[in-house]
Amino acid sequence: MTQFHNGARLRLERPGGGEPLTLRLSVNARARRLSVRIDARAGEAVVVAPSPRTLPQAVDFARTRALWIAERLSARPKTTPLAPGQEILLAGRSVRLEATGTAAAARLVQSEAGPVIRAGGEGEAFSRRVLNFLKAEARRRLTDRTEFHRAALGQAPVRLSITDSRTRWGSCSPHARTIRYSWRVVMAPEAVLDYLAAHEVAHLVHADHSPAYWSVVERLIGDHRPHRRWLKTHGAALHAVG
């Protein structure tokens, strides 16, 4: 008998044949119903259940959504390596990657053709230098906006960390006073990055997503809906970078 547990991965038959679909099981006590979402970066579907005992029903539900899962996984953006000649987004603007032929760290420069991130090294070394630059930029920009919104709410200081989460753009632990962000949001427009900072800082006041919580977010940045839509629409493409 199949044993279902949080974090387990199962194979689902692909409609029409072909390679099976990968399904990851997730338990979230805050979930009000069974749901399925696509983890574009991992190339798998995630089925969310409110409790461990509802995981079998969640798997059955995911099987009824197999065609939808297959279509969404097939439509996800292809992974793009961080390599010379590639164009990526930085603060919502297209930036070209360029090799210097040296061992220099990555830096942003303004060329005649537009903004360029120049870095030394080859292959993995080049990719690592560009990634380090992007993470440093993410930390700098997110620290600035986090501090701005924290001060606006009169909240005590927090510890901030930069991660590469596959499932969340950010997370906040109010009791531990820590906030984590995905470095990939540095590729989004500045207003979207600012929204994410406000979103997480607002959790220092309300840990849930209640109307009272969203009123705090609106007090900080106004209408948050366009920024949420942007992440939903473009998020898969950001996760395909690197």
As a whole number, mean pLDDT of residues 60-87 equals 87
As a whole number, mean pLDDT of residues 100-112 equals 93
Place of tokens 């200081």: 157
Each residue of 15-70: pLDDT tens digit? 888 889 999 999 998 888 999 998 876 788 999 999 999 999 999 999 999 999 99
Task: Give the rounded distance of the alpha carbon of 13 from its chain centre.
Answer: 28
Determine contact, residues 38/76, Cβ cutoff 8 Å.
yes
Q: What is the pLDDT of residue 73?
A: 84
Residue 235's nearest CA partner among 179, 188, 171 is 188
The structural domains of the chain, ordered by start, are 9-75 (no CATH), 87-239 (3.30.2010.10)
Mean pLDDT for all residues in the chain: 92
In the predicted structure, residue 110 carries a pLDDT above the cut 60: yes
CB count in 10 Å sphere of residue 104: 12
CA-to-CA distance for 4 and 204, rounded, in angstroms? 34
Residue 44's DSSP bridge partners are: 39
In the predicted structure, residue 76 carries a pLDDT above the cut 80: no
Q: How confident is the model at residue 1 (pLDDT cuts 50, 70, 90)?
A: very low
Q: Report the greatest alpha carbon distance in the chain.
A: 64
Determine contact, residues 171/180, Cβ cutoff 8 Å.
yes
pTM metric for this prediction: 0.76
The tokens describing 58, both together, are 């969640």
Residues whose CB falls within 8 Å of the CB of residue 36, separated by 6 or more in sequence, listed in order: 45, 46, 47, 48, 61, 62, 65, 68, 69
As a whole number, mean pLDDT of residues 1-23 equals 85
Which range has the worst mean pLDDT, 38-52, 189-203, 205-219?
A: 38-52
As a whole number, mean pLDDT of residues 193-210 equals 96
Of all residues in the chain, the percent with pLDDT exceeding 70 is 99
Q: What is the pLDDT of residue 2?
A: 61
CA-to-CA distance for 165 and 184, rounded, in angstroms? 9
CA-to-CA distance for 97 and 86, rounded, in angstroms? 5
As a whole number, mean pLDDT of residues 197-212 equals 96
In the predicted structure, residue 236 carries a pLDDT above the cut 50: yes
Q: How confident is the model at residue 154 (pLDDT cuts 50, 70, 90)?
A: very high
CA geometry: angle at 170 spanning 207 and 144, to 5°? Answer: 100
